[in-house]
A and B are shown apart, each in its own frame.
Chain A
């Protein structure tokens, strides 16, 4: 804010030496960082946009990279698909320095994409986007019957849960037995 704006309307006129705002506060060049997903495609993102992600923001603060170092060492997110990371980067750029609106209608409608996006957003700790995604997930079952909810959200019945649990125990038992046998073999 310039000094002329700070004065009240009854104050004396601004002194002619007062510099215009742009000259008084020269713009600091924005720093950029680089991220890539599983597809190794590198995305250039401004520090301002990356502030949405608590994880990346924490990494930036701790590393103290220069522009060159950042370019040479893009943050690798091997567990995130390229198109999903692109979506996240786009969202961060769109909402850079802006208050987040109460709703976001640009989230993917395909269930598979949304699932991967939720996982990525949770991993990257982007709180606002995670809330939007969860709202979208909740909206999937709006007005649906219990059986429709079961189908949409792939919820197993108690019988299926019990069967899966038994299966997991059996598998764990077999693995443990295999490990013991291998350990015994090594000892010999």
Chain B
């Protein structure tokens, strides 16, 4: 009997398991609370690679990923995805039609190039082969968004190259949310933009092409656009600016003269609520020596003299169009009859960025009441 007891003790499953030599580390055999800590320790790149491995690892990633942190997913054309993680790691996935690989991704059931190449920033590049690259890219975008709940979804399109029903396909997978829309190409048509903005909900519109068509169409947006940035604002007139229905209008490489810039301020002061903009930045690509500030700020100089030493902080927008804090010393404050105050100030490249940068910007910001 003693012998049998001893034998049973030795053969207990726990003992057998312990004595078995393992090649790897059976992470899924860890207690669930420990597994949760391990998954949370993975950085986003490793986490989504882990999520590829099986339905269960995919479930674990969705369950244990903190939602809504500072990650960005971008869609580019030809179909491709760019994921920027919190630590600036970059992962790119391009989608191609021709299939040379037979390696199946267990989640997406598509061919994935197993030879991922290292990106110079430390991230990785992948290629996915599929019969329908666009649809597949959307599928993957939705999949990543389910896991990481990106707070920035960037879509970059060129109207002349993109398929006509692109946004229909997009909306069917991702819904109407696009936080940042970047329009590239030679020219973009106002009517097309207007149509687009009626079906998607946008925070930042970045137009990197010339704008054609009737710019007044942009005044009839179905909602108040938070940020509009135009990199080639040739077709935008002072009237367009004064009626633009967005919070922050940022015009780069503008050709407005000093007199025209000054007119914006005068219009704002005399025309009551006509100016809907909360912030306006007009950047011109020439050195400040060729700027006549007396003309630009004509009429403001006597408004408030003691601001030179006063530091003020307010919400501004960075190059990506996201909110940032601006600390301003100096500038002019103009208060109009209804009590609203407009701050007018100049911005120049930082000293360390001066090399090759010849720009200055004239900025207007309506202070919160």
Q: Interface on A for B, CB 8 Å cutoff?
A: 79, 81, 111-112, 114-116, 118-119, 122, 130-131, 134-135, 137-138, 140-142, 144-147, 149-158, 161
Contacts and interface: CB of A to CB of B under 8 A. Distances in A.
B50 A161 contact: no
A137 B106 CA distance: 23
B53 A155 contact: yes
B121 interface: no
A146 B22 contact: no
B30 A118 contact: yes
Contact of A141 (B22, B42, B54, B106): B42
Contacts of A144: 46, 49
A155 B28 contact: yes
A79 B57 CA distance: 28
Interface of B: 14, 18, 21-31, 33-34, 37-38, 41-43, 46, 49-50, 52-57, 106, 114, 116
B306 to A, nearest CB: 42
B129 to A, nearest CB: 16
Contact of B24 (A111, A135, A147): A111
B25 A156 contact: no
Nearest to B48: A146
Contacts of B43: 142
B25 A154 contact: yes
Contact of B34 (A79, A122, A161): A122
20 contacts: A111-B25, A114-B25, A116-B18, A119-B30, A122-B30, A134-B34, A134-B38, A138-B41, A141-B42, A142-B43, A144-B49, A146-B49, A146-B52, A149-B46, A153-B28, A155-B28, A156-B28, A156-B54, A157-B106, A161-B56
A153 B46 CA distance: 13
Contacts of A155: 27-28, 53-54, 57
Contacts of A141: 42, 46, 49-50
Contacts of B54: 155-158, 161
Contacts of A157: 53-54, 106
Given A137-B27, A138-B42, A153-B27, 14 more contacts: A119-B30, A119-B31, A130-B37, A134-B34, A134-B41, A137-B25, A138-B41, A142-B46, A146-B50, A150-B53, A154-B25, A155-B28, A155-B53, A157-B53
Prevailing SS type, chain A contact patch: helix
A144 B45 CA distance: 10
A154 B37 contact: no
Contacts of A112: 21-22
Contacts of A131: 37
A88 B356 CA distance: 59
A168 to B, nearest CB: 14
A80 B193 CA distance: 66
A145 B113 CA distance: 11
Contacts of A134: 34, 37-38, 41
A161 B57 CA distance: 11
A161 B49 contact: no
A139 B56 CA distance: 21
B26 to A, nearest CB: 4
A69 to B, nearest CB: 28
B114 A140 contact: no
B49 A152 contact: no
B12 to A, nearest CB: 11
B369 to A, nearest CB: 46
Contacts of A149: 46, 49-50, 53
Given A122-B31, A137-B25, A138-B46, A81 B37 contact: no
Contact of A145 (B23, B29, B55, B114): B114
B297 to A, nearest CB: 52
B57 A138 contact: no
